[in-house]
Amino acid sequence: MPRLRDPEARAVERRAQILSEAVKVFGEKGFHGANIADIAKRTGLGHGTFYRYFKNKLDIFDAVIGTITSAIAAMVVDEGANESNTLDEYRSQLDRIGRKFLTIFEEHEALARLVFHEGLTVDPKLTRKVRDAMELFAELTRAYLENGKRKGFLREDLDTEITARAINAIIFESIEQVSGSKSPAVVGERWRKAVIRLMLDGIRSESSLPKKK
């Protein structure tokens, strides 16, 4: 006789299933155009069962935004801000993060709109959550820059607080462009290369640099 799965494990699985389908529904219809019936139909659940997991539409939208922002933060944290010891290692690390970051939005083009547009307009508490996530991303980016200063492969006078926010602004714009593109993988690769080059090499040509004596 097959063993029944643990009720808690089934609940976690069911909640994940609902969130997965909710991303698709919100992506297709937007927060205001979607309703509980749309999501319940996708999951094959009745309304009564659905409300065991989420209180209302805003509750599930909040969970969707939280899942996305947590996944991004975890990806950056897992890489380790202090791991790079040389500029080449730092470049490789940025390359890995950039690839992982853009892949999330290449695979789910609606995510950018959900986080950076509707996530900032649907509800004041949700807006605060997204803003807090952006602040966290800025602090994580700053940690990478501080590591570069300490180890001598980034300039000593670098304003890491402002630079981190400027970098993130560029990254958020790249997400916008990738998610709205007909060729997200191609556009994502162009943005990844351009952002890393802008961060580490600047935009001056070699001929404009001071001549070595």
**Cα–Cα dist 117/127, whole Å:** 10
**Cα–Cα dist 58/195, whole Å:** 35
Per-10-residue mean pLDDT, the chain, length 213:
64 86 87 89 82 90 87 80 88 84 72 81 90 89 90 88 90 80 82 85 58 55
CATH class of 1-54: mainly alpha
Return the pLDDT at 70. Answer: 84
Return the pLDDT at 7. Answer: 73
Return the pLDDT at 117. Answer: 82
Domain segments of the chain as ranges: 1-54, 57-203
Fold of 57-203: Tetracycline Repressor; domain 2 (1.10.357)
